[in-house]
Amino acid sequence: MENSLPLPWPLVSAAKEPLCLHKMSNQELVVRCQQGFSPDRAAFAELMRRHQAHIDRLLYHLAPDWQDRSDLAQEVWIRVYRYVKRLKEPEKFRSWAGRIATNLFYDELRRRRRGWPPLSLDAPIQTKDGELDWELAAQSPGPDENLVTCEFYEHLRRAIAELPEAFRTTIVLREIEGMAYEEIAETLGISVGTVKSRIARARRRLQSQLNAYL
């Protein structure tokens, strides 16, 4: 990614955070960052430690084949650091940061003026209980079954990639990122009703295109 900014702090490596920060809630850490002339670096480093994996996963699923996702993630945290004082509801820090990441992704996508990158469904799904594979459960699949499975996922990749941008994003956030409807609404800045409508329409489109394989 071009013109990425250097992090404006030796923040994450800033030495010895007070132990009490680990016991603070996200809301308390945000409030601490909002006090004073600039955000408290130790408190911000703790917020970053807690939520960096979430932002990285979100960007991975939105742009799986971008080689410079780390630059985009860096831009996200620069903006979060710069604008955290404007967050009016500190308890919603996670969804607010996710919305910044999504908006930055769209900005970069428009700048590049290229088609939607294919969504990788080969990578394991990250869940609270560990990793899950996309492979269909079967005790002893035969060659024909394997062929049909491969064909199904290839068609699924194409079908998702061909969805309109709004539908594709909501499906990625819901089915792959595992976000709740309310979180998606917060992230995209739309109503919960709009989220549900987009997901329902996206599922109908996918089902109609993949009906032969379901």
Q: Does 134 score more than 50 pLDDT?
A: no
How far from each other are the two terminal CA atoms of the chain, in whole angstroms? 39
102: domain range? Answer: 19-112
The answer to whether 29 touches 136, Cβ cutoff 8 Å, is no
Residue that the structure tokens 């308890």 belong to: 91
Q: What percent of the chain has pLDDT over 70?
A: 71
- Residue ranges of alpha helices (H) inside the chain are 26-33, 41-62, 69-83, 93-112, 143-161, 165-171, 181-188, 192-210
43 and 80 inside one domain: yes
Task: Put residue 156 in one of left, alpha, beta given phi > 0 → left and psi -120 to 50 → alpha.
Answer: alpha
Reply yes or no on whether the pLDDT at 132 is more than 60.
no
Same domain, 104 and 26: yes
Residue 185, in any domain of the structure: yes
- What's 100's domain CATH number? 1.10.1740.10
Give buried/exposed letters for 159-186 (b at 16+ CB in 10 A, else e). bbeebeeebbbbbbbbbbbebebebbbb
Same domain, 154 and 71: no
Whole-number pLDDT of residue 28:
93
Q: Is 12 domain-assigned?
A: no
Of 84, 112, 140, the domain-final residue? 112
To the nearest 10°, report the CA torsion of 196, 201, 206, 209: 170
**What pLDDT digit, counting tens, does each position of 89-125 carry?**
999 999 899 889 988 888 887 777 554 444 454 455 4
Give the model confidence (pLDDT) of 165-194 as tens digits: 788 888 888 887 778 899 888 888 889 999
Count structural domains, the chain. 2
pTM to 2 decimal places: 0.59
Last residue of a domain, one of 112, 142, 158: 112
My answer on whether 98 and 137 are in the same domain is no
What pLDDT was estimated at residue 22? 83
* Dihedral-angle region of residue 2 (phi above 0 means left; psi in -120 to 50 means alpha; beta otherwise): beta
Q: Is a pLDDT exceeding 60 seen at residue 42? A: yes
CA separation for the pair 85, 187 (Å, rounded): 18
**Between residues 147 and 62, the one the model is more confident about:** 62
Give the distance between the most distant pair of CA atoms in the chain: 65
Q: Read off the pLDDT of each residue in 152-160 and give the average, rounded to a whole number.
A: 72
* End-of-domain residue from the set 112, 135, 167: 112
Tell me, what CATH number does 137's domain have? 1.10.10.10
CA-CA distance, 198 to 164, in Å (whole number)? 10
Determine, yes or no, domain membership for 7.
no
95 in a structural domain = yes
